[in-house]
A and B are shown apart, each in its own frame.
Chain A
Amino acid sequence: KAGVTQTPRYLIKTRGQQVTLSCSPISGHRSVSWYQQTPGQGLQFLFEYFSETQRNKGNFPGRFSGRQFSNSRSEMNVSTLELGDSALYLCASSLLMGQGGYNEQFFGPGTRLTVL
């Protein structure tokens, strides 16, 4: 069974540009979550999608957005990039949307975004 895949793996952009990252969950998984990892802030929850609907959102500005398609694949978009957006962006998939308790999330390898 294929794991979570993320494309691209590495990306270099300049300030002011926008970027789109892609995540394909494990087959059969309907929930996709996105996380940002930086040395300063650590791992932070961005948002979660389930059945093409955003169900939960972390404390990030509106420049960060996402969507989920009918095949559960998800994309996240960051507009007007800032230097502080440089980070490892991790995608995680799970069978069901988390409702507290056990809901194992399988992570992809991440996309490393560098903003110059």
Chain B
Amino acid sequence: AQKITQTQPGMFVQEKEAVTLDCTYDTSDPSYGLFWYKQPSSGEMIFLIYQGSYDQQNATEGRYSLNFQKARKSANLVISASQLGDSAMYFCAMRGGGSGGGADGLTFGKGTHLIIQP
């Protein structure tokens, strides 16, 4: 079974500061993908960044980067130069190869509620 743990229920950060959102995972699949999604109060899930288990380099997408430490089963999201519009729920998720030969859906963590203060 796959599991995602996000230990920070909420965070307050000053605008323009960098933010690190923690995510640890557990899986027995040798091949898997790690995702981060942003969910504003409107409810829609917005894809931010992806990291594959065999990727050698940490993923980056604009102001988002993923600090991937495979041995520690950690996939922290780093947001540089935070903005007021970054205030939202952030979810870490993973998808593996599936124990039955097929694929499973995304497994999500409980999320971190990030609030950017001016």
Interface residues of A (CB under 8 A from B): 33, 35, 42-48, 55-56, 58, 88, 90, 92, 97-110, 112
Known A102-B33, A103-B95; contact A97-B103, beta-carbon cutoff 8 A: yes
Is A45's CB under 8 angstroms from B52's CB?
no
Q: What chain B residues lie within 8 Å of A103 (beta carbons)?
A: 33, 95, 103
Is the CB of B43 closer than 8 A to any CB of chain A? yes
Is A101's CB under 8 angstroms from B47's CB?
no
Which of B50, B102, B106 meets A35, CB within 8 Å? B106
Is A55's CB under 8 angstroms from B102's CB?
yes
Question: What mask results when residues 59 to 101 of chain B are scored 1 for a CB within 8 Å of chain A, else 0?
Answer: 0000000000000000000000000000000010101111000
A82 to B50, CA, bound (A): 36
Known A55-B103, A56-B98; contact A107-B45, beta-carbon cutoff 8 A: yes
Interface residues of B (CB under 8 A from A): 29, 31-33, 35, 37, 42-47, 50, 52-53, 91, 93, 95-98, 102-111
Pick 14 A–B contacts, CB within 8 A, sort by A: A35-B105, A43-B91, A43-B106, A43-B108, A45-B105, A45-B106, A45-B107, A56-B104, A56-B105, A100-B29, A100-B103, A101-B31, A101-B97, A103-B95
Is B50's CB under 8 angstroms from A102's CB?
yes
